[in-house]
């Protein structure tokens, strides 16, 4: 049995969008149905968006026509978490990028790496995915976000068993596949290695590809490889003078933004810091463009 956990937070957005965000009922699913613990998986919630003088809304989560109420579900993929919004009845996002910044705030908002909108399909696709990052920017797409999107669609449409559909993104057409066990398989397509298409202004080392190129960051020369999977990535295994990285020792919040906003990445970049553990195992920390450091270390 799902238990209800209520909370309230008020966020005042700066002009011209003067609204209060008031968190309403938050439904929680305990790992053991017989005992409820507050810190569990959020299944569904609603947040009312209203003017400062408006009276609080009493609309339920299921009342999707209620004015001024933003309904959402919280999903994550490997700790990369998103506020999911059912936006299938409109080609315009329900909230602005500025409002998304407030909602993604982990101290005064809901807390997330971004807001994902499920929208009507365009260019022959079944659905369209748009994302506002926690800094208000809009990326082309996100791999973890696509997986969350697919699971959200499966819940909304009540899909059973193995199922696939097409999603239009800023990076092109993506075709996720829901597996029998509920996991999501996504073909991300061919990686783009040509520097100008990543995009990066770092000179190519192998034809146009940027592989093990030198990049000056914070007074050090880093060996980097650049690739696009629909959005730009910069992968480094360490500096030119080092024998490899110890990713646990990296001050990610300090060095990450210096990669992201480097002048040689005109569209900014995601950055992966990789440590080789063995021939079969790597350890990686990620600085995500527009969202900052991810909460998990991947290995």
CB 102, CB 109: distance < 8 Å = yes
The pLDDT of residue 54 is: 38
Instruction: Tell me if 299 is assigned to some domain.
Output: no
User: Could you list the residue range(s) of the whole structural domain that residue 234 is in?
Assistant: 195-293
CATH number of the domain that residue 130 is part of: 3.10.310.10
Domain identity same for 40 and 177: yes
CB 127, CB 165: distance < 8 Å = yes
Rounded to whole angstroms, how far apart are CA atoms 96 and 237? 37
Q: How many domains does the chain have?
A: 2
The pLDDT of residue 90 is: 96
**HSE-up of 152 (CA within 13 Å, CB side)?**
31
Instruction: Tell me if 246 is assigned to some domain.
Output: yes
What are the residue ranges in the chain where pLDDT is below 70?
Answer: 1-67, 295-299
The pLDDT of residue 296 is: 54
Instruction: Tell me if 215 is assigned to some domain.
Output: yes
Q: Is 297 left (phi over 0), alpha (psi -120 to 50) or beta?
A: beta
Kindly report whether the global pTM for this prediction surpasses the value 0.85: no
Backbone φ and ψ for 22, nearest 5 degrees, come out as -115, 115
Distances, alpha carbon 159 to alpha carbons 61, 177, 186, 233, 294, in Å: 21, 11, 17, 33, 30
């Amino acid at each position: 049995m799902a238990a209800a956990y209520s909370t309230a937070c008020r966020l005042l957005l700066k002009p011209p969008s003067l609204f209060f965000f008031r968190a309403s009922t938050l439904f929680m699913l305990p790992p053991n149905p017989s005992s409820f613990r507050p810190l569990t998986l959020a299944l569904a919630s609603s947040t009312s968006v209203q003017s400062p003088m408006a009276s609080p809304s009493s609309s339920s989560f299921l009342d999707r026509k209620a004015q001024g109420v933003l309904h959402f579900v919280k999903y994550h993929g490997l700790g990369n978490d998103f506020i999911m919004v059912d936006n299938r009845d409109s080609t315009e996002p329900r909230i602005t990028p500025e409002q998304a910044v407030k909602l993604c705030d982990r101290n005064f908002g809901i807390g997330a790496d971004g807001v994902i909108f499920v929208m009507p399909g365009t260019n022959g696709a079944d659905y369209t995915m748009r994302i506002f990052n926690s800094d208000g920017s809009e990326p082309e797409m996100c791999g973890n976000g696509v997986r969350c999107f697919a699971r959200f669609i499966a819940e909304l449409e009540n899909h059973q068993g193995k199922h696939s559909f097409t999603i239009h993104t800023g990076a092109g057409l993506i075709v996720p596949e829901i597996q029998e066990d509920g996991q999501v398989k996504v073909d991300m397509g061919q990686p783009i290695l040509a520097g100008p298409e990543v995009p990066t202004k770092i000179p190519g080392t192998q034809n146009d590809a940027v592989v093990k190129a030198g990049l000056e960051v914070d007074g050090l020369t880093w060996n980097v490889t650049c690739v696009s999977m629909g959005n730009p990535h910069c992968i480094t295994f360490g500096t030119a003078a080092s024998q490899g990285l110890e990713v646990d020792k990296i001050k990610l919040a300090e060095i990450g933004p210096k990669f992201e906003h480097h002048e040689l990445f005109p569209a900014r970049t995601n950055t992966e810091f990789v440590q080789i553990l063995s021939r079969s195992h790597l350890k990686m920390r990620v600085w995500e463009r527009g969202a900052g450091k991810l909460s998990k270390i991947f290995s």
